[in-house]
Amino acid sequence: MGSSAKVEYFATSDGRREVRCIIGAAALPDTGNAIPPHITPPPTPAASSPPPPSPSRPPVLHLPSAPVPR
């Protein structure tokens, strides 16, 4: 695998060097158009649950009616 990978340096507009490692096709498994399983993000369980209350507004507390101290 080391022979098919190469590192290229690109100069950015602000004068720094950007390093990119380019791996040849021979080093990758042939998966066709399918996304490799290690790249697919896991499903988020929070998508089915309701969103949490916004931090700018505290949750409303239902208290029994009582005189409000002033």
* DSSP string over 24-38: -GGGS---TTSPPTT
* Beta carbons of 39 and 61 less than 8 angstroms apart: no
pLDDT digits over 46-56, tens only?
Answer: 555 566 655 66
What are 14's two structure tokens? Answer: 């602000």
pTM of the model: 0.20
Domain-wise residue ranges, the chain:
1-29
Partnered with residue 8 across adjacent β-strands are: 20
Nearest-angstrom CA–CA distance, 15 and 10: 10
State the average pLDDT over residues 65-70: 67
* Helices (H), ranges, 1-70: none
